[in-house]
Structure 1
Amino acid sequence: MKRLTHFLGMGANMVAAGMLAAIFATFLIQIAARYLLTQFGVQLELGWTIELNLTLWLWLVLFTCAFVLHERDHVKFDLIYSHGSMRRKRVFAVLSALSIIVALIAAMPDTWDYVSFYKIKKSPTMRIRLNYVFSIYLVFAGVIALRYGWRLIDVVRGRDLTRDDRDILAD
């Protein structure tokens, strides 16, 4: 199982890196068209590059958050959490996981309606159906709800101690 998760993690990293490379390449096309080609009197309409970069950025952020980043990689405001006992930390972890799961699942029907509504609209330049553009949020919400479900089970069973918590216990 560990080997499979490592393989899938590497695949997710490669997808995220590919999206980032596509954003960079599109950005270079914009620069070349704006500054190099205009020197030779060539005017290109490159509105699609802005639209592509915006879409890729949306997908990159949500995909990476769902599939690449670990719990410890996220920004946290843990001033109260980090100064609490292990019991208090477990209570906070359970409450935060439950809050995230309930909020994402409760919002899912309306999110589905919103995303599916956009099947009638297309992006202005590239003519991509907007439900495809925003569908990554459904994937993100589902995966994050599942990840926090697993975290909740681990915390309740007493198996989840983050690296920071282990360091605090060692002190």
Structure 2
Amino acid sequence: MRKLQAVVGHFARGVAAAIMAAMFVTFVLQIVVRYTARLEWLPAKFPILDPSLYGWTLELCLLLWVWLVFWGNAFVVRDRDHVTFDILYHAVRPSVRRWFIIISGIAICVSLVLSIGPTWEKFHILRLKKTATLSAIFGDWIRMRDVYSIYIFFLIAVGLRYAWAVYRAVRFGVEEPTHDTAKDAPR
């Protein structure tokens, strides 16, 4: 099980890194085109540098940013990496903390899972809408639903993560089981 978690974790981080790399390359391309746009002789000599061909770069950066945020928060960012306001949580006894985790975890899990249906219904109309400029590079098949579909994965993954937190709180209490503490220790 741990090996599978490690492989899935490496895959998720690899996808996030690939998204960041694609975003960076697109951004550098935007800069090159922007600074060479005033050189009228350059597109005449090198038609590939015609600035009118690169309107899609802004929309691609925005698409990659949306995917990076939701992919990263669903699959890469760990709970301990989030900023938390836990003064009250640490001020109470462990048994009360356990109930905090159970109640809040169930509320978050249920609300995220229940929002999948209405969200998908809203996405239904997005299947008809095309992106403004990405068809220039990807063709006519990419739709706005495809751009925002990562949000459904986010809802499922975070809902499952909170369900897992509730399970661990019920089974082990507030403290982490001893076999996980060595893995989570700072290196």
Shift of 1:83: 2.0
Pair member with larger Rg: 2
Identity %: 37
For these two proteins, the number of residue pairs brought into alignment is: 164
State the alpha-carbon separation in 1 of the partners of residues 38 and 100 from structure 2: 58
User: Which residue of 1 is the match for residue 145 of structure 2?
Assistant: 131
RMSD: 1.8
The TM-score normalised by the length of structure 2 is 0.81
User: Which residue of 1 is the match for residue 111 of structure 2?
Assistant: 103
Question: Is residue 69 of structure 2 the alignment partner of residue 58 of structure 1?
Answer: no
Runs of 4+ displaced beyond 4 Å: none
User: Which residue of 1 is the match for residue 85 of structure 2?
Assistant: 77
Shift of 1:88: 1.8
Is the 8 Å Cα contact of residues 81 and 92 (structure 1) preserved in structure 2?
A: yes
State the alpha-carbon separation in 1 of the partners of residues 128 and 27 from structure 2: 29
Question: Is residue 167 of structure 2 the alignment partner of residue 153 of structure 1?
Answer: yes
1:87-102 matches, within 5 Å, as 87-102=95-110
Q: Kindly provide the CA deviation profile for residues 95-114 of structure 1, in whole angstroms up to 9, marking residues without a partner as x.
A: 21111111112211101101
Which runs of no fewer than 5 residues in structure 1 stay unpaired? 167-171
Is the 8 Å Cα contact of residues 151 and 160 (structure 1) preserved in structure 2?
A: no
CA spacing shift, 1:159–1:83, aligned 2, 3 Å: closer
User: Which residue of 1 is the match for residue 138 of structure 2?
Assistant: none
Shift of 1:147: 1.1
State the alpha-carbon separation in 2 of the partners of residues 138 and 104 from structure 1: 10
The TM-score normalised by the length of structure 1 is 0.89
Q: Which moved more, 1:71-80 or 1:8-17?
A: 71-80
Task: Provide the secondary structure at the position in 2 that maps to 1:120.
Answer: coil
